[in-house]
Structure 1
Amino acid sequence: MKKRLFILVLALVWAQSLQTSVAAERPNIILVFIDDMGWGDFSCFGNEDAATPNIDRLAAEGVRFEQFYVNSPICSPSRVAISTGQYPQRWRITSYLNNRKSNEERGVAQWLDPKAPMLARSLQQAGYATGHFGKWHMGGQRDVNDAPPITEYGFDESLTNFEGMGPKLLPLTLKPGQEKPGRIWEDAENLGDGYRWMLRSEITSGFVDAAIPFIDKAAAAKQPFYINLWPDDVHGPYWPPVETWGDGSLRRLYLSVLEAMDTQLGRLFDRIRNDAALRDNTLILVCSDNGPAPGAGQAGPFRGFKTHLYEGGVRSPLVVWGPSIVRRKGHVDRESVFSAIDLAPTLLTLTDTPFPDGVQFDGEPLVATLRGEGNSPQAPMAEIHDVQGLLHAMRGEGGSRQAPIFFRRPPDRDSFYGVEDLPDLAVRSGKWKLLCEYDGSNVELYDLSHDRAESTNVASNHPEIAVNLKAKLLAWHSSMPADNGATYRKKQAKRK
């Protein structure tokens, strides 16, 4: 035992002496965050109705995670969580950002406070080139035309859609038999100069077209880069290439858009894979911002849809690729439970980037998990393959998330997609998932190790677990700034 400890100490000293050279080769990061796509929509996650070969290849060469969660079942707060490493409730963004009046009525902010601890800003301050290409939806949309530009959040360059401030691509629509394209969200022209119209069916390629020169420039300067590539074409309304409309059904249009998006992303992935220097030092992450809309995407075996706190609304597929970073090629991690708020502290740790001063992340640094090196709090030494792995293990930056994951529904989504009274709150802790109302009533408890479809409420069989989880959930809820979820539906009913 003493000999083993001595060897480990020597190894740590050696590793620390090399840390400067390791940091000099900090990995590039590309985060692909897809809009409104279900857990089961990639073919590598079981979709037999459509093919996503470019994503599937990433999974075959990397790690596929089956118990990854986003932190809201709707877009804007989900994007805040993955960008900040904190619960979106802290920043009063708990539903999609709409027009001013609607935002005020629901008790949500008009835009994300630029003081939020942005992952991009921390990386930018550490010397990374940072670019955002795709949907933003954290401020600047409809009549909210005085929101900060995306570049105020730590990005050197940006190109977005109609839901952000700065240069943007606006969608033209075209269906079979139509000669002249139409326009949607035409009022978005008032959100600033720099807009360009292009076919919605090709808009992901427009974002890729902007991202690749950004990569080229950073690579030429030998500068590490961080890129958000956030496609919005899988969000309805669906406008695939005209030759792929098929019968025009909602499902067919969705599948065609999904396949077109995968094809367009392939060019970005090939740019990295075909460059030895980038291939050996780039991490690509691909996931969804929330669950699917009914009749379009699919949540696999899970209950619920977008806007629901059931698994179908908050569980996301996650694929992580990086040949020199991810250590288990073709691995499927079915056990590790973690979430989008964990990505910011994890990526900062992986890149040896200091955490922002005075910030307490709600997420945990889970480097070993992301690298596919185990599901325990600390990866076994036998599974640690390099200097960084040793450093992270010795610092305790190990496997599965230890704290529970908490959720609050959007204030305007108490009744949606045919469900008249959706749970207000939820928590995932270990194998257990508990849902309830704001006051703790209507408790639902599910053992996800045996019932991932959330079909059998076992609260009465495990009263101690239910009481304990409910207490933690209500305490978390009361610690967060309130929105108008408790009164919003009543106001709407009075109007009618």
Structure 2
Amino acid sequence: MGVVATPLLLSTISMPVQAEVAVEKPNVVLIFVDDLGWGDPGFLGATDLRTPNMDKIAANGVNFTQGYVTSSICGPSRAGLLTGVYQQRLGSAENIPEDHYPTKEGNRAGIPLSQPMLQEILKEQGYRTGAIGKWHVGLAEEKRPNNRGFDYFYGFLNGSHSYYKSGFEFGDNHEYWPIFRNTEMVEFEGYTTEVFSQEAVNFIETSKDDQPFFLYVAYNAVHYPWEVPQPYIDKMDHIEEENRRKFGGMVLALDEGIGQIVDSLEEQGKLENTAIFVISDNGSPRPNPKALERDSNLSNTGGLRGYKGTNYEGGIRVPYIMSWPNVVPANITYDLPVSTLDVAKTVTTYLGIENPPKGHEFDGVDLVPFVNGERNGERPHDTMYWRRADDYAIRIGDWKLAYNTYEQTGEAELFNLSSDMYERSDLSARYPEKKEELQAKFDEWDHSLPQSLAKPELPTNRNHNFGK
């Protein structure tokens, strides 16, 4: 998988540091895929699914083997990514209720207008900005893409969507809600993965040579419903299990779309000046033997415990790769924990922007000096937090404390991920003082959080005695 980016090995890599790189503003392509498990892509070791284009991006850049999202579910994860701020600090730790058809007044939850988002910051720097695919961070008119810094939007506003159907006649069936082009609902025909890929290519091709762009491509692939054209499934005929074969077809369609985006960058002569990120929004959906058609998609956690919706590693550790020619090394495997909070900080630091012009300061770090050897021996994050409803987790170094209501143990569990990345051994009884230390640190952070905008009924300043 390339060079292991330990501090010792990184010290042997000769790379130009940021100050030596031309000051030309880079293009940024941020690809956020949906529900791709840590064990699904080839660059993380999968041998049955085919992801040659994602693998090539990893080979041309950095594969973060401990890449984390800020939430184990879709909406909050996107809020953390696009702001670079823990979404809990914004009251955005829950999915937005989809209780109104999008032609009506939308639920007003979502990222507060007082908090700048990455595209808004880049737009102020002269960037052309485009969003393709799934939005899911604001239904109300003022929180939709074109009112949050995007020059162009093509996609849907809510969380789950059919790959084939969309229109005006489906009412409150969320999976068929309309596709928008900017602020107008439009007729849809095709397969969303393919259509979103073509929209992304069109955006690149219509960008001016003298204006940098930020392109956010948020595929709904490979989220439920499990739908894919038969030719993709046929290419997975080496997989015997039917659901895994179908899932593999969905992944292949996604990967080919990503390849089209990279090819377009190269054809337009823009690839050498483009930072590319490809990240999943959370881990694998939970297989449910009582509802096989919906949930038994056979996405693979790579052996990690837990699934989407939990704060075990299988819910929050995700595929995470970055390629940035002449800025970060190629063919690097970086093994220390990083976060989606780091995307905004990495891009804006390169542009000389320390923090957002208003709102909360970034919680992420600039990843460039960590992967090119300038900060050998340092961890990007000493402490990481997760919170959704009553589920929570904290990681300090390699120690992790996690409480997951799905397990219904009544106790938070303590793990050391350096020796137990699969979270098989609860060390609470052996290290009670360490558990108390992590719990106290988490409570201090948690008690500073505001009320949830999406679910105001959730209490603040929660008492965590149940987890001790």
**Aligned amino acid, residue 314 of structure 1:** I
The percentage of counterpart residues that share the same residue type is 31
C-alpha distance after superposition, 1:99-158 (max 9, x if no partner): 238xxxxxx963322332201111110111111111111122xxxx64533111111111
Structure 2 Cα separation of the partners of residues 72 and 80 of structure 1? 9
Q: 2:244 aligns to what?
A: 251
Q: 2:224 aligns to what?
A: 236
Q: How does 1:440-459 map to 2 (within 5 A)?
A: 442-459=411-428
Structure 1 Cα separation of the partners of residues 184 and 59 of structure 2? 42
Structure 2 Cα separation of the partners of residues 189 and 64 of structure 1? 33
Structure 2 Cα separation of the partners of residues 351 and 190 of structure 1? 31
Q: Structure 1 residues 458 and 486 mapped into 2: Cα distance closer, same or farther (>3 Å)?
A: farther
Shift of 1:170: 7.2
Shift of 1:344: 1.2
**Aligned amino acid, residue 258 of structure 1:** V
Q: How does 1:132-151 map to 2 (within 5 A)?
A: 132-140=131-139, 146=141, 148-151=143-146
Q: 1:352 aligns to what?
A: 352
User: Is there any run of 5+ residues in structure 2 with no aligned partner, and where?
Assistant: 1-16, 101-106, 167-172, 235-239, 288-295, 460-468
Decide which moves more: 187-196 or 260-269: 187-196
User: Is there any run of 5+ residues in structure 1 with no aligned partner, and where?
Assistant: 1-14, 102-107, 175-182, 381-397, 415-423, 488-496
Shift of 1:243: 3.1
Larger radius of gyration: 1
**Aligned amino acid, residue 239 of structure 1:** E
* 8 A contact 1:369–1:400 mirrored in 2: no
Structure 1 Cα separation of the partners of residues 148 and 458 of structure 2? 31
Structure 1 Cα separation of the partners of residues 378 and 187 of structure 2? 44
Give secondary structure in 1 for the equivalent of 2:342.
helix
Q: Structure 1 residues 347 and 92 mapped into 2: Cα distance closer, same or farther (>3 Å)?
A: same
**Aligned amino acid, residue 299 of structure 1:** T
Structure 1 Cα separation of the partners of residues 320 and 149 of structure 2? 24
Q: 1:384 aligns to what?
A: none
Q: How does 1:169-188 map to 2 (within 5 A)?
A: 171-172=163-164, 185-188=175-178
Give secondary structure in 2 for the equivalent of 1:100.
coil
Q: How does 1:322-401 map to 2 (within 5 A)?
A: 322-327=324-329, 329-334=330-335, 336-353=336-353, 355-368=355-368, 372-374=371-373, 379=375, 400-401=379-380
Shift of 1:198: 2.1
Tell me whether 1:407 sits opposite 2:386 in the alignment. yes
* 8 A contact 2:341–2:365 mirrored in 1: no
Shift of 1:162: 4.7
**Aligned amino acid, residue 121 of structure 1:** E
Structure 2 Cα separation of the partners of residues 373 and 431 of structure 1? 22
Tell me whether 1:271 sits opposite 2:264 in the alignment. yes
Q: Structure 1 residues 128 and 306 mapped into 2: Cα distance closer, same or farther (>3 Å)?
A: same
Q: 2:169 aligns to what?
A: none
Shift of 1:69: 0.5
Tell me whether 1:48 sits opposite 2:47 in the alignment. yes
Shift of 1:347: 1.3
Tell me whether 1:73 sits opposite 2:62 in the alignment. no
TM-score (normalizing by structure 2): 0.79
Paired positions, count: 409
Give secondary structure in 2 for the equivalent of 1:38.
coil
Give secondary structure in 2 for the equivalent of 1:346.
helix
* 8 A contact 1:284–1:320 mirrored in 2: yes
Q: Structure 1 residues 353 and 231 mapped into 2: Cα distance closer, same or farther (>3 Å)?
A: same
Give secondary structure in 1 for the equivalent of 2:261.
helix
Q: Structure 1 residues 369 and 354 mapped into 2: Cα distance closer, same or farther (>3 Å)?
A: closer
**Aligned amino acid, residue 339 of structure 2:** S
* 8 A contact 1:343–1:363 mirrored in 2: no
Give secondary structure in 1 for the equivalent of 2:360.
coil
Tell me whether 1:97 sits opposite 2:96 in the alignment. yes
* 8 A contact 1:91–1:112 mirrored in 2: yes
**Aligned amino acid, residue 220 of structure 2:** D
Tell me whether 1:226 sits opposite 2:214 in the alignment. yes
**Aligned amino acid, residue 44 of structure 2:** F
Residue of 200, 205, 214 corresponding to 1:211:
200
Higher helix share: 1
Q: 1:429 aligns to what?
A: 396
Shift of 1:27: 1.3
Q: Structure 1 residues 217 and 310 mapped into 2: Cα distance closer, same or farther (>3 Å)?
A: same
C-alpha distance after superposition, 1:243-276 (max 9, x if no partner): 344689432221110111111221111112344x
Decide which moves more: 344-353 or 239-248: 239-248
Q: Structure 1 residues 366 and 184 mapped into 2: Cα distance closer, same or farther (>3 Å)?
A: closer
Give secondary structure in 1 for the equivalent of 2:55.
helix
* 8 A contact 1:114–1:152 mirrored in 2: no
Shift of 1:238: 1.4
Structure 2 Cα separation of the partners of residues 139 and 304 of structure 1? 28
Residue of 443, 448, 451 corresponding to 1:479:
448
**Aligned amino acid, residue 337 of structure 1:** P
- Measured on the aligned residues, the alpha-carbon RMSD in Å equals 3.1
**Aligned amino acid, residue 69 of structure 2:** V
Give secondary structure in 2 for the equivalent of 1:445.
strand
**Aligned amino acid, residue 215 of structure 2:** I
Give secondary structure in 2 for the equivalent of 1:31.
strand
Structure 1 Cα separation of the partners of residues 126 and 164 of structure 2? 37
* 8 A contact 2:277–2:323 mirrored in 1: yes
* 8 A contact 2:163–2:193 mirrored in 1: no
Q: Structure 1 residues 213 and 188 mapped into 2: Cα distance closer, same or farther (>3 Å)?
A: closer
* 8 A contact 1:30–1:284 mirrored in 2: yes
Give secondary structure in 2 for the equivalent of 1:465.
helix
Give secondary structure in 2 for the equivalent of 1:199.
coil
Tell me whether 1:317 sits opposite 2:313 in the alignment. no
Shift of 1:95: 2.4
Decide which moves more: 346-355 or 315-324: 346-355
C-alpha distance after superposition, 1:47-73 (max 9, x if no partner): 222111110111111110101100000
**Aligned amino acid, residue 284 of structure 2:** P
* 8 A contact 1:303–1:312 mirrored in 2: yes
Structure 1 Cα separation of the partners of residues 188 and 241 of structure 2? 24
Tell me whether 1:465 sits opposite 2:461 in the alignment. no
**Aligned amino acid, residue 127 of structure 2:** Y
Residue of 190, 197, 200 corresponding to 1:199:
190
Q: Structure 1 residues 428 and 352 mapped into 2: Cα distance closer, same or farther (>3 Å)?
A: same
Q: Structure 1 residues 190 and 160 mapped into 2: Cα distance closer, same or farther (>3 Å)?
A: closer
Shift of 1:290: 0.4
Determine which structure has greater relative contact order: mean sequence separation of CA pairs < 8 Å that are 6+ residues apart, divided by chain length.
2
